[in-house]
Structure 1
Amino acid sequence: MPSASASGAAATPGGTLPPTATSAPSQRIEVRTDVFRLVFDSAGGTLVQGELVLHTDFEHHDEKFTLLDDSPNRVYVAQSGLIGGDFPNHKTPMTLLPGPLSLSDGDSTLAVRFESADVGGVKLRKTYTLTRGSYAIDVKQEVINEGGSPVSPQLYLQLVRDGNKPPGESSFYSTFTGPAVYTEAKKYQKVDFKKIEENKVDIEKQATNGYVAMVQHYFATAWVLPDGVQRELFMRKVDSNLYAVGMITPLGTLAPGASKTIDATFYAGPQEEKKLEALSPGLELVKDYGWLTILAKPLYWLLDKLHGFLGNWGWSIVALVLLLKAAFYWLNAKAYSSMAKMKAINPKIMAMRDRLKDKPQEMQKEMMRIYREEKVNPMGGCFPIVIQIPFFISLYWVLLSSVEMRGAPWILWIHDLSAPDPYFILPLLMTLTSLLQTALNPAPPDPMQAKLMWIMPLAFSVMFFFFPSGLVLYWITNNILSIAQQWIINTRMGVPPQFNLPKFK
């Protein structure tokens, strides 16, 4: 694990950062708003700690969630500065200009200003403007040529962090942690730390739009420049287990006495889809639904609308699954009708198998004859269900990715839909409903298949003991509705529901 000092040695493209005097001790400055507790380092005016006061820590719920950090155990910082000469960079001592450091009641914004001394004839002034209720910080970088000759500096904006998984991240479900970039040309591109290590990064290098980001479960940071501003995008390994993603924009030639201002936005907060969409095109994609985004986004939209009506995320999950089951009612009806027919002819199939158990080819022909005469398609119960699988996988990713579930209560003992059930009641109910559903299905003629039908739901259920409660609730609801529909269809078809218990002899 890199130490805190490692982040101060980060290099940027366009040449190694020039050596800068660091003998003066840096100062840590704390800034507070209604959503942030931020810590800036006077070395470079760098943001070295970001605490989200409206979110609690994964492991210690009495503590606030820390997204950015620069400590002996963790490095995750936002840096900016100038390259192209011996200019102010993220290691240059800067002076905090006078002004308030906390957002007062009645104020909507808070401006925090840093200014460097003249370095290489250039002075850099940074202004961080924080807005009430917002995780987006406006960052104005003013570059002033105070020397006697023209200069051509470039501004870099970068995020530097270690390659470790975030504290409290569960190993039972896979979520992405690492850098990402977005451009109109190649859209959203995320890159594993391992690929940076192996120098296998293939991203858009030049653009006039988009952003760079560091992504983890539920939260993200991003640097955003205005559209039309030329920038070079980069990802690189900085040090042992330390990685950077960023962009460089040329400022052009500044004559003596001239200045240039670049406005950027720095985001550090939860992956709230609607707010990210409003901030920058494509920024909502840091909430990664994978290859099923085209289905997941409308499902999230519907879930959000249901929450607006019901006011409880748990009941919204139940309502969404109910709507999905209603939408697929006729497909499910066809599947369960096919299963009911299979169950009706199952005694005839089993008797035939016993009679011809030593004649496999004749057994196969006889089985096909029975299916043909009874007008039963053995795959008829599978196809309608297969069509629905992408929708339920998409819903899985919606629930797993949505920060709104974090700390959201449902009923009674479920105080956090993003955390596992502390008493394992929901996973046990999920296991029981899965086994009940298996028992209602017709037993496969093949004994090995019949055993697998019981082993698979049991093995699958084990994982759910460690899954977020919201995911388990969605699966239980789906199971219960499936059992109810299957029971009704079997009864209507004159095939009394019966339980096919496992035989492991």
Structure 2
Amino acid sequence: MESQRTFLFIGLLLVSFLLFTEWQKDYNKPIADTSATQTTTVASSSNTDADVPTSTSGLPPQVTTQADRQLISVTTDVLAIKIDSKGGDIVEAKLLKHMEKHGSDIPYLLLGEFEGKQYHSQSGLVGLNGPDAAKEGRPVYQSAQSEYTLTGDSLVVPLTYVDGKGVTFTKTYTFKPGNYDVVMNYDINNPTAEPIQVQLYTQIKRTVQDKGSMVDQTYLGATYGTSEEPYEKYSFSDMAEANLNKATQGGYIAFIQHYFVSAWVPEQNTNNLIYSAIRNGQGIIGIKAEPVNIAAGDQATLSAQYYMGPKDTDALEAIHSDLDLTVDYGWLWFISQPLLNLLKLLHSFIGNWGFAIIAITLIVKTLLYPLTKAQYTSMAKMRMLQPKMQALKERYGDDRQKFGQAMMEMYRKEKVNPMGGCFPLLLQMPIFLALFYVFLESTELRHAEFGLWLTDLSSKDPYFVLPILFGASMFLTQKLQPMTVTDPMQQKMMTWMPVIFSVFFLWFPSGLVLYWLVSNIISIAQMLYIYRGMEKQGMKVRG
């Protein structure tokens, strides 16, 4: 049994190492974290026109000359964005309620230019008469103001373009207080004597990054949803291998990263085509709607919704029923989501995320107590059988078959299940890992304060107090459960396990380490309680 416990610990160690490695890649090196002070500029080398999809498929190779344009500033209570009048694209978005670093007053830069890298949202009209498909390049919209500020219940930012035939295209963004999503409408007025045809596209482009993470929670790349596939990832490497070409009714596309997401959601009653491409070092994922015919003298309105903000499950689900899946808890989502809801509920009463973590740990450990009791009881009984086990080894020597038969007979007579200590541990692991995903992925814990020296539960403990206490609790657990294994290698690994885990946890988010520390302390208390009860029954389970 002890040998099997050792291998379980080794497996957990490996998983922890992989999670730590991948978390480091995403959390310490996010594209948007290091350059939030930069100002987005309109560069003549951006090749914006080359990113416009055609009305059928693919991307046109031509790059047209840059026309005069300006950046239009829009400020709400939660967003500060810049819209490029050429194309009407959102080329910068700062999240005013989320700071770049804990304790700073610099808003987090979600969209923009980052040391030569780009992350932009684009939209336009292609098709036979779409202004974005014109040979002279994308249209330059006119705006009545260069700056807009939300002061009421909504803010409407209209951009107008009139083509050479007199067709008026009005691209309007509507913002609301407290919202990270914006509604975009295209109002098309065709006063000519001939019908026209346009096709709405919305897309997100981002500079190609390193190969995506093998851990879901640190994935950086594109995702999409269709009527048949509610959530699928499409990484930069996937884009390099093949262009995405998915027909669907409704759907959505998004780029996700640690804590934040940007996503386009088209009208859900239309037939759309989800596509992708890599062009000039930019990974592109987008949606094209079906062509729309506008009769002579007629008008039409096309709409889409764009989200740019934190991974707030409630806000995302309100935009699209599947968009909350971009808060990616991996294959344990069905456990993680209820646990997150419980954590939010506890925080609503307690008002402190650190104490909420302690509270949810208490609840989980209490609910799992029957499994914990079965685990420790089985392990204690196995230790009590060690002298008899040793006697059987001496009696049968190298005859493994007879030794195995005698051992199983002994288990039967003593009413001991040799796997009784393993199964409860295995059953608990999905819950522990699901909580790990919750702590790692939940935006609510980003820059959340606990108290004293712990001012950010999403970052490492600055003085490494929690990792050291965790190692001490793990060491105490081992002392209270004397090892009976005789293999020197296993003994060394078990002895050094607290040190190894403490070293790994030095750079883990302090909220995660707090959970594991409290869990260990509760486990020690439960173990002592269980052993005391067994000793009262005359069973010697320690020493």
Which residue of structure 2 lines up, in the alignment, with residue 502 of structure 1? none
Which residue of structure 2 lines up, in the alignment, with residue 87 of structure 1? 130
Please say if residues 207 and 230 of structure 1, whose CA atoms lie closer than 8 Å, have aligned partners that are also in contact.
Answer: yes
The residue type equivalent to 1:254 in the other structure is I
Which residue of structure 1 lines up, in the alignment, with residue 446 of structure 2? 406
CA RMSD of aligned residues (A): 2.9
Change (3 A) 1:466 1:479: same
Partners of 1:9 and 1:97 lie apart in 2 by: 24
The DSSP-based 3-state class of the residue aligned with 1:94 is coil
Deviation at 1:481, TM superposition (A): 1.0
Greater shift in the superposed pair: 397-406 or 375-384: 375-384
Please say if residues 334 and 384 of structure 1, whose CA atoms lie closer than 8 Å, have aligned partners that are also in contact.
Answer: yes
Change (3 A) 1:155 1:18: farther
Greater shift in the superposed pair: 476-485 or 22-31: 22-31
Which residue of structure 2 lines up, in the alignment, with residue 176 of structure 1? 219
Partners of 1:209 and 1:267 lie apart in 2 by: 16
Greater shift in the superposed pair: 7-16 or 415-424: 7-16
More helix by share: 2
Equivalent in 214, 220, 242 of residue 199 of structure 1: 242
Q: How does 1:409-424 map to 2 (within 5 A)?
A: 409-424=449-464
Q: How does 1:310-329 map to 2 (within 5 A)?
A: 310-329=350-369
The residue type equivalent to 2:325 in the other structure is L
Which residue of structure 2 lines up, in the alignment, with residue 391 of structure 1? 431
Greater shift in the superposed pair: 479-488 or 366-375: 366-375
Deviation at 1:179, TM superposition (A): 1.1
Change (3 A) 1:283 1:131: same
Partners of 2:63 and 2:88 lie apart in 1 by: 14
Identity across aligned pairs (percent)? 37
Partners of 1:175 and 1:445 lie apart in 2 by: 38
Change (3 A) 1:449 1:355: farther
Partners of 2:530 and 2:114 lie apart in 1 by: 61
Partners of 2:164 and 2:463 lie apart in 1 by: 61
User: Is 2:64 aligned against 1:24?
Assistant: no
What per-residue deviation string (whole Å, max 9, x for no partner) do you get for residues 401-420 of structure 1?
Answer: 10000011012111111111
Partners of 1:292 and 1:272 lie apart in 2 by: 18
Equivalent in 170, 182, 201 of residue 125 of structure 1: 170
Q: How does 1:201-220 map to 2 (within 5 A)?
A: 201=244, 205-220=246-261
Deviation at 1:285, TM superposition (A): 0.8
The residue type equivalent to 1:175 in the other structure is T
Equivalent in 152, 156, 165 of residue 111 of structure 1: 156
Deviation at 1:446, TM superposition (A): 4.3
Deviation at 1:355, TM superposition (A): 7.6
Deviation at 1:390, TM superposition (A): 1.3
Which residue of structure 2 lines up, in the alignment, with residue 234 of structure 1? 275
The DSSP-based 3-state class of the residue aligned with 1:152 is strand
Equivalent in 39, 56, 62 of residue 82 of structure 2: 39
Greater shift in the superposed pair: 345-354 or 428-437: 345-354
Please say if residues 332 and 430 of structure 2, whose CA atoms lie closer than 8 Å, have aligned partners that are also in contact.
Answer: yes
Change (3 A) 1:71 1:339: closer
Which residue of structure 1 lines up, in the alignment, with residue 199 of structure 2? 154
The residue type equivalent to 1:474 in the other structure is Y
What per-residue deviation string (whole Å, max 9, x for no partner) do you get for residues 438-461 of structure 1?
Answer: 333352434143334344554344
Partners of 2:459 and 2:92 lie apart in 1 by: 25
User: Is 2:521 aligned against 1:480?
Assistant: yes
Partners of 2:484 and 2:397 lie apart in 1 by: 15
Deviation at 1:433, TM superposition (A): 1.7
The DSSP-based 3-state class of the residue aligned with 1:484 is helix
Aligned residue pairs total 492
**Structure 2: 5+ residue runs without aligned partners?**
1-30, 32-42
Please say if residues 208 and 230 of structure 1, whose CA atoms lie closer than 8 Å, have aligned partners that are also in contact.
Answer: yes
Partners of 1:397 and 1:304 lie apart in 2 by: 15
Equivalent in 332, 336, 343 of residue 303 of structure 1: 343
The DSSP-based 3-state class of the residue aligned with 2:172 is strand
Partners of 2:165 and 2:285 lie apart in 1 by: 26
**Structure 1: 5+ residue runs without aligned partners?**
500-505
Which residue of structure 1 lines up, in the alignment, with residue 411 of structure 2? 371
Partners of 2:466 and 2:100 lie apart in 1 by: 24
Q: How does 1:65-80 map to 2 (within 5 A)?
A: 65-80=108-123
Please say if residues 82 and 156 of structure 1, whose CA atoms lie closer than 8 Å, have aligned partners that are also in contact.
Answer: yes
The residue type equivalent to 1:262 in the other structure is L
Partners of 1:436 and 1:36 lie apart in 2 by: 49
The DSSP-based 3-state class of the residue aligned with 1:409 is coil
Please say if residues 217 and 440 of structure 2, whose CA atoms lie closer than 8 Å, have aligned partners that are also in contact.
Answer: no
Please say if residues 339 and 442 of structure 1, whose CA atoms lie closer than 8 Å, have aligned partners that are also in contact.
Answer: no
Deviation at 1:119, TM superposition (A): 5.1
Please say if residues 216 and 328 of structure 2, whose CA atoms lie closer than 8 Å, have aligned partners that are also in contact.
Answer: no
Partners of 2:482 and 2:162 lie apart in 1 by: 80
The residue type equivalent to 1:98 in the other structure is A
Please say if residues 213 and 222 of structure 1, whose CA atoms lie closer than 8 Å, have aligned partners that are also in contact.
Answer: yes
Deviation at 1:437, TM superposition (A): 2.2
Please say if residues 92 and 116 of structure 1, whose CA atoms lie closer than 8 Å, have aligned partners that are also in contact.
Answer: no
The DSSP-based 3-state class of the residue aligned with 2:523 is helix
User: Is 2:477 aligned against 1:431?
Assistant: no
Structure 1 stretches of 4+ moved >6 Å: 169-173, 354-359
User: Is 2:309 aligned against 1:269?
Assistant: yes
The DSSP-based 3-state class of the residue aligned with 2:253 is strand
The DSSP-based 3-state class of the residue aligned with 2:96 is strand
Partners of 1:119 and 1:60 lie apart in 2 by: 52
Greater shift in the superposed pair: 410-419 or 440-449: 440-449
What per-residue deviation string (whole Å, max 9, x for no partner) do you get for residues 444-500 of structure 1?
Answer: 43414333434455434432211111111111111111111111111211166758x
